[in-house]
Amino acid sequence: VVDESRAQYVQMIFSEYAAGNSIDSIVRKLAEMGAPPPKSKQWRSDAILYLIKNPTYMGEYRAFRTKPTRNGKRISSVEREDTISSECPAIISKKTWEQAQAMRAANRSNPASKKRNYLLRGKIRCGICGMGYSGYALSATTHITKQGEEKQYPERRYYRCISTGREYTTCGNLMVLANRIEERVWSDIESFLSQPSKVIERLLVKQREFSKAVNTESRSVVKLQAQIDKLDRQRKKIVKAIGAGTITHDDAKEAIQELNGEKNALVLRIKKIEDLQDNTSGSYNRGLDSTRDLLDALSRRFHEGLTDQEKAQLVRHLVHSVVIEPLHQDGAVVPHAVITYVFDAPLPGKGDNIFSGKTGTLNRLTLEKMNIELTDKQKAMPA
């Protein structure tokens, strides 16, 4: 049952967010309107975000959207295919819901609208609870020591698990210094892009591997065609048997249907192999050309200097994920990062943006999986 007294606030939240207004501004507007918060004494940004992600408000209730984590202390999201959906009264339209989700996705990946630039925004997540890591900063401060001396502390940027800012118990994972992990990731990207010959060489290796697989499949076409010819001969025998009266029409019909099913399956398999043959060579050649153009363009831009937005764009396409895990080392617990890099050769015909297009089977190249340790005294930093 829809609570009409609260529905107007939900509609306002989705409308404002879909229009591009910040969550902080929505919180202020709710306070000005005197809207009653759902649980706590006042509206919080994480409560707004949780509400925006909840499909119930557009008329789709999903059971089992969350599940306990391994430590049993808090909950985390699960994949949609593992949920059970049913209809319920809608407060907002599906269009408004989709606009809000599109805005949320854009906000996660685009650092331009943020006060501080976090290069790994949207890529870094928690290895304990599976939730994302978000940017967190401690402003520059001045501290007076007991001796009366003035000690200045510069601003420090961190990444921390977003469970830290929620009302229920956090997962307890550690923060990481943003500068340290960003410098390492960017150094790896620069190193990778500064060696175009190695990139092309590895793509050529993948091309040869696929070509070998296609050639193997091509040889199987001859065998598949032989099986089809055999089925055709069997069909002719059945037709002759009908004419000779040695088989009933019903038996013949059943046998022919079975033969036709086998033949259609073989024909479909041959078509897939032939399509793969037609696409492999052209796709790889276009992929190699696009990769060369991409690396040439990036090489020039490196010399000119990249903006923060351009760096963020590179990170979005070359970094698959960064997972932060606690590591027990020398009697202490320190944060440990597992970084997975993925190079996606752009697909042709997807627009002018050299990064546009989806990753296909024939032009995906997994570079490497690297482990790095962030071993300064982060365990003592305030959460």
Distance CA 184, CA 133 (A): 17
Report whether pLDDT(74) > 70: no
Domain boundary among the residues 109, 124, 155 is at 109
Is residue 97 located within the same domain as residue 183? Answer: no
Domain boundary among the residues 109, 139, 160 is at 109
Q: Which alpha helices (H) appear in 155-307, and where do they start and end?
A: 178-193, 196-244, 249-304
Distance CA 216, CA 294 (A): 32
Is residue 121 located within the same domain as residue 105? Answer: no
Report whether pLDDT(378) > 90: no
Is residue 323 located within the same domain as residue 187? Answer: yes
Encode pLDDT of 347-370 as tens digits: 333 332 222 222 322 233 333 333
Report whether pLDDT(232) > 70: yes
Burial class (CB in 10 A: 0-12, 13-18, 19+), 196: middle
Encode pLDDT of 24-63 as tens digits: 788 888 888 888 887 767 788 778 888 898 888 888 876 6
Report whether pLDDT(198) > 90: no
Within a domain: residue 337?
A: yes
Distance CA 76, CA 122 (A): 17
**Angle, helix 249-304 to helix 178-193, in steps of 10 degrees:** 100
Q: Extract the tokens encoding 337.
A: 């990062």
Within a domain: residue 186?
A: yes
Is residue 122 located within the same domain as residue 152? Answer: yes
Q: Which residues are CB-neighbours of 370 under 8 A, at least 6 positions away?
A: 188, 338, 339, 340, 341
Within a domain: residue 227?
A: no
Domain boundary among the residues 84, 109, 134 is at 109
Within a domain: residue 55?
A: yes
Within a domain: residue 245?
A: no
Q: Domain of 99: which CATH number?
A: 3.90.1750.20
Confidence of residue 190 (pLDDT cuts 50, 70, 90): confident
Q: Extract the tokens encoding 132.
A: 């994302």
